[in-house]
Each structure stands twice: as C-alpha cells, then as structure tokens.
C-alpha cells in the first residue's frame, strides 16, 4: 500500500468520509448526556462533569467483553426517552459527523429501547428523523454538507424484529434506509430473526446484521447464507476462515498463498461489505490491538472493507481518528482511504444513481485535492 506522508488528525478531517456503522445511542456528546439527565430527572449517571463522564464511558467500555461494553448504553438510552431528547441527540450527531468531514452517514438505533416514557415506535422514529433533518440543514449552512439516513435496529435477544422491520419499511421513503440487529451476539444467532429478514427481502428492503464480532464464523455463515444479509456489521472474525502463509504479519503489503475457506470466498466473491470498527473491536476484546486488527489482511485480500466508528462516545473516537489509527498501524495513504471510502459509498443503502453521484461529485474530487 502507499506509504503516504505523515498525516495529522486535521488532514483526516479534510478527507471526505462515509460512515455506515454508527450507533445514535453510542455517540452522544458527554455534555448532552448530563443536560438530558438533568432535564428528565435521571439520577444514575456515574459522573457529573463532561470530562469525567467521557472518561467513565471510555474506561467502562474498555472491558474486553461485548456484554460489559453494552452495559454502558443503559445511561445513554435512559436519557433518550422523549421526542425533544431524541431530536437533540440526532441533530448533534449530524452536526458532529459533518464537522468531522463525514459526507454520508447511516446512523442506527433501536426504537424499541426508547419507549419507556410512553413514546410510540413511530414517534421515536419521527423525532430522530426530525433531528437529522435539522442537523443536515445546520451543516449545510456551515458549508459542511452531509446526508444522513437511519437504520432501525432490533435487539437480537428480544422478539420485536419483525415489528421493527415493518417499521423500517413503513418509513422507507422518509429517511430510513434499512434494518439491523444488534446486542449480545453469543447465544442469539441471526437465524432467530429469519422472519424479519424474509419479510424485508420480500419488500426489496436492505439490511445489515451485527455478526462475527463477539462470536465467530457460525454467526457470519448464518447472517450471509441463511439470512441473506446485504452487509456484515463488523464481520471481523472473517479472519478465522483465512489461513495466512507462514511468517505473515498483520501489516504486510500482500499475502501470497493465503487460503480462503468457503465462507470467506463467498463473502469476497459476492462483494459483501464488512463494516469494520477498529477501536470498538479492541474494547470488546474481538482483537488485541489496532496493530493486530485483521483490517489490513482483509483489505489486502480485497474484501470490501469499510472504516467505521461504531460508538463514538464509548470509544472516544471519530471517523478521522479511526483513519489516523489505521494510517499509523498500516501506513495507508490517500489512495487507500479513497478506496475504503468508495467501498463504503458503493455499499450504502441508497439508490445506485445517488451513490454514483456522491462518488463522482464529492468523494473523488475531495481525494483528488488531497492527493495534489
């Protein structure tokens, strides 16, 4: 790969970025969590200043286990139970992503988690969409245009996936681009939700599945082969189906002789996108470090890899920071980041002409400037 010049975070902010895997309830501003807790009378926050709260989330999420990582969401979900709170969080999300140089984002959340104070599922979705629209308008005014779509997530341990899938289809022409399942992966295989996936395929709708994060190949196999997923949320354990040549390291420039198993071949042949989230994977213990992340192996073997944040609050990260971390670990230059960004845009749940326009009008011109 191109060993580009040394990048700074500011350089990475300038690059147009596409984000496919970001959780709304994992990306709140710490100060907003505090404001909303005060407004709604939620008194269980573990800290009372923005800095201390940011620190608490990052440390608590650094647990080495997906289950413990997910416990931290109790606090963000607790303060996202009114239309006003949901709209504010969504507006700030769009603004923060635009400020970071993200030009297209699909942001996901689970409507079923936001009905504790009496909102209906429809009201939850409407509030979030209104917030995204406001955020997009503000970003445009600031000269940092962004397009934000949302994905509706169903929790994989629960039993509401069919209902949430129907909700996603119903809002399909109002800013909901697709569907997802998330939550604790072990013990909750994707095939539990076949009904929802069958329904979505029948509706010509798009979906992604969190698979191959905390659980390995069987989860990826089900998501791809039984459920027919369009993309893989994480999919990092794809590496378990790849045998590298002796002596190969995680930062090599090529992997001659690498052997792919049946699932890896299928995913690569079909160009099924991998929504890789480097920092999140380190926190949940899916990988030991960024330097050992299979991102580079998968990229060099030409899987359709994309770079994502997962949860900006829990990982104290941004898209630009994920780019920088990958640059530091693997020496990627702008040509590489353009490829990952085009991969992501090609994989977006937008119509073909819309994806093409973003690639031709926004992404390629943006990288052309950076590449001088």
Residues making contact with ligand NOS (CB under 6 A) = 23, 25-26, 66, 70, 73, 77, 108-110, 113, 153, 182-183, 210, 213, 280, 310-311
Q: How far apart are CA 234 and CA 140, in angstroms?
A: 31
Other Cβ atoms closer than 10 A to 20? 31
CB 90, min distance to ligand NOS, A = 13
Q: Which residue carries 């330097």 as its tokens?
A: 291
Catalytic (active-site) positions: 213
Q: Which does 25 bind (CB under 5 to 8 A by kind): ligand NOS, Zn ion, none?
A: ligand NOS
Q: Applying CB under 5 A, what is the total number of residues that bind Zn ion?
A: 1
Pick the closer one to ligand NOS by CB: 103 or 209. 209
Beta bridge partners of 149: 106
Q: Which stretch binds Zn ion (CB under 5 A): 142-150, 238-246, 258-266, 309-317?
A: 309-317
Pick the closer one to ligand NOS by CB: 109 or 207. 109
The runs of H, that is alpha helices, within 28-174 are 30-40, 50-61, 66-71, 73-78, 83-99, 121-141, 161-170
CB 248, min distance to Zn ion, A = 28
Q: How far apart are CA 329 and CA 289, in angstroms?
A: 10
Q: Which does 109 bind (CB under 5 to 8 A by kind): ligand NOS, Zn ion, none?
A: ligand NOS
Confirm if 35 and 42 have CB atoms less than 8 A apart.
Answer: no
CB 277, min distance to Zn ion, A = 7
Structure tokens at 178: 């697709």
Pick the closer one to ligand NOS by CB: 114 or 355. 114
3-state secondary structure of 106: strand
Binding-site members for substrate are 23, 25, 183
Q: How far apart are CA 331 and CA 371, in angstroms?
A: 15
CB 106, min distance to Zn ion, A = 12
Pick the closer one to ligand NOS by CB: 213 or 222. 213
Q: How far apart are CA 352 and CA 343, in angstroms?
A: 13
Q: Which does 26 bind (CB under 5 to 8 A by kind): Zn ion, ligand NOS, none?
A: ligand NOS
Among 310, 312, 319, 323, binds Zn ion (CB under 5 A): 310
Query: Does 100 interact with Zn ion (rule: CB under 5 A)?
Result: no
Sheet holding 147-155, edge to edge: 17-23, 102-109, 147-155, 176-182, 207-211, 231-234, 274-276, 305-307
Beta bridge partners of 154: 181
Judged by the rule CB under 5 A, the positions of this chain that interact with Zn ion are 310
């Amino acid at each position: 790969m191109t060993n580009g010049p040394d990048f700074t975070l500011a350089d990475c902010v300038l690059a147009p970025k596409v984000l496919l895997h970001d959780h709304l309830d994992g990306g709140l501003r710490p100060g907003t969590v505090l404001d909303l807790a005060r407004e709604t009378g939620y008194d269980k926050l573990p800290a009372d200043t923005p800095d201390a709260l940011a620190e608490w989330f990052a440390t608590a999420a650094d647990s080495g286990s997906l289950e413990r990582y997910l416990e931290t969401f109790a606090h963000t979900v607790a303060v996202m139970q009114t239309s006003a709170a949901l709209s504010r969080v969504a507006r700030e999300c769009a603004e923060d992503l635009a400020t970071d140089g993200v030009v297209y984002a699909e942001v996901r959340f689970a409507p079923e988690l936001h009905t504790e104070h009496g909102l209906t599922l429809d009201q939850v979705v409407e509030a979030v969409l209104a917030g995204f629209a406001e955020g997009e308008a503000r970003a445009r005014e600031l000269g940092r245009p962004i397009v934000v779509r949302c994905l509706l997530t169903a929790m994989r341990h629960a039993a509401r996936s069919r209902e949430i899938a129907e909700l996603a289809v119903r809002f399909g022409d109002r800013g909901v681009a697709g569907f997802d399942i998330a939550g604790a992966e072990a013990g909750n295989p994707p095939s539990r939700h076949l009904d929802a996936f069958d329904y979505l395929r029948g509706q010509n709708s798009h979906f992604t599945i969190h698979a191959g994060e905390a659980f390995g190949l069987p989860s990826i196999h089900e998501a791809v082969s039984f459920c027919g997923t369009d993309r893989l949320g994480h999919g990092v354990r794809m590496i378990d189906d790849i045998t590298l040549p002796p002596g190969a390291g995680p930062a090599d420039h090529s992997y001659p002789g690498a052997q792919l198993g049946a699932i890896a071949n299928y995913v690569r042949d079909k160009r099924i996108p991998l929504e890789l989230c480097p920092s999140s994977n380190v926190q949940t213990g899916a990988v030991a470090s960024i330097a050992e992340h299979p991102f580079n192996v998968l990229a060099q073997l030409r899987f359709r890899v994309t770079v994502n944040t997962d949860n900006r609050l829990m990982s104290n990260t941004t898209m630009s920071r994920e780019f920088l971390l990958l640059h530091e670990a693997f020496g990627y230059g702008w040509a590489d980041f353009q490829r990952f960004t085009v991969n992501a845009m090609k994989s977006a749940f937008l119509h073909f002409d819309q994806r093409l326009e973003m690639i031709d009008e926004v992404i390629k011109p943006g990288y052309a400037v950076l590449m001088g």
